[in-house]
């Protein structure tokens, strides 16, 4: 059965990969993002390929705008079957004691509070209908901190705890909850982290073939389409030559 899939942060990287992959699976999409022009381009691309798509332009940090736009969805789009909480970012790689508090706020507000907002708005309907699936895009950064990763790693550790907690809270329903934990994925992630320093961002992926957003999207679609009695709670996805967040064999 085709599903209604809501994907946050769908304008690039893993979110865009998920949008394209779920569309190819025959699902219909609610795509969110901050960049209206880019989001519109993606929606038109997918519609041209035959997908049903609705776009919602907002920042997940804006709880009231998220609430308003979801409430304004046509009735037939309000029953979300799969929520992909993808919107997130890293900013800076400085030691904690000299970090930028504004960067901290943005990461915490997006990676944690934005995820909580979308969960709070969507999951009650899933519980009421006794079906649904929440897929949170975490990170191996949530398993162990690395140099300069301090606050970002903390936000992804929070995603793991929040995901595990939600799974407990809905255990008496048929709602499933999954945490996907990628390692190195070559997207605009590092470019954002380094505030547009493309040369520095490129060095992150030197000497290794990293994952792509499509690789993570393949896993997301797989877990969303597992048999109803199967709940894939957590998946760690690494490039072949990455063993952990800090152990990478480069050539």
Residue 246: inside a domain:
no
Q: What is the CA radius of gyration of the chain?
A: 17
CATH number of the structural domain spanning residue 77: 3.40.50.720
Structure tokens at 144: 């162990």
Asked if the structure places residue 130 within a domain, the reply is yes
Structural domain for 24, as ranges: 4-237
- Domain membership flag for residue 162: yes
Rounded to two decimals, the pTM is: 0.96
Quote the tokens at residue 145.
């901190």
Per-residue pLDDT of the chain (251 residues; tens, 9 = 90+): 789 999 999 999 999 999 999 999 999 999 999 999 999 999 999 999 999 999 999 999 999 999 999 999 999 999 999 999 999 999 999 999 999 999 999 999 999 999 999 999 999 999 999 999 999 999 999 999 999 999 999 999 999 999 999 999 999 999 999 999 999 999 888 888 888 888 888 888 999 999 999 999 999 999 999 999 999 999 999 999 999 988 999 99
In a domain, 251, yes or no: no
Residue 243 lies in a domain: no
To the nearest 10 degrees (0 to 180), the angle between helices 213-224 and 13-24 is 50
Is the residue at 173 inside a domain? Answer: yes
Any idea which residue has 């599903």 for tokens? 3
Q: Per the domain annotation, does 129 fall within a domain? A: yes
55: left (phi over 0), alpha (psi -120 to 50) or beta: beta
Number of domains comprising the chain: 1
Cite the active site residues. Answer: 152
Query: Does residue 116 lie in a domain region?
Result: yes
Residue 178 sits at the vertex; the CA angle it makes with 74 and 79, to the nearest 5 degrees, is: 15
């Amino acid at each position: 059965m085709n599903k209604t899939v809501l994907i946050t942060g769908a304008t690039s990287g893993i979110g865009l990969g998920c949008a394209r992959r779920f569309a190819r699976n025959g699902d219909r999409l609610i795509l969110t993002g901050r960049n209206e022009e880019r989001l519109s381009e993606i929606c038109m691309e997918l519609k041209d390929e035959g997908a049903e798509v609705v776009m919602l332009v907002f920042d997940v940090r804006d709880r009231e705008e998220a609430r308003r736009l979801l409430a304004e969805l046509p009735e037939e789009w309000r029953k979300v079957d799969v929520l992909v909480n993808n919107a997130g970012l890293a900013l800076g790689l400085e030691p904690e004691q000299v970090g930028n508090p504004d960067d901290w706020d943005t990461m915490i507000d997006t990676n944690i509070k934005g995820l909580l907002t979308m969960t709070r708005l969507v999951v009650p309907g899933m519980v009421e209908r006794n079906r649904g699936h929440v897929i949170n895009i975490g990170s191996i950064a949530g398993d162990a901190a690395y140099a300069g990763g301090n606050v970002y790693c903390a936000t992804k550790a929070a995603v793991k705890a929040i995901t595990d907690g939600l799974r407990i809270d809905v255990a008496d329903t048929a709602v499933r909850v999954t945490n996907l934990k990628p390692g190195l994925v070559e997207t605009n992630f590092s470019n954002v982290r380094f505030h547009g320093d493309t040369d520095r961002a490129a060095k992150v992926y030197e000497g290794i073939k990293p994952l792509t957003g499509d690789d993570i999207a393949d896993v997301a679609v797989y877990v969303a389409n597992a048999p109803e009695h199967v709940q894939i709670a957590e998946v760690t996805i690494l490039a072949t030559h990455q063993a952990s967040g800090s152990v990478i064999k480069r050539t």
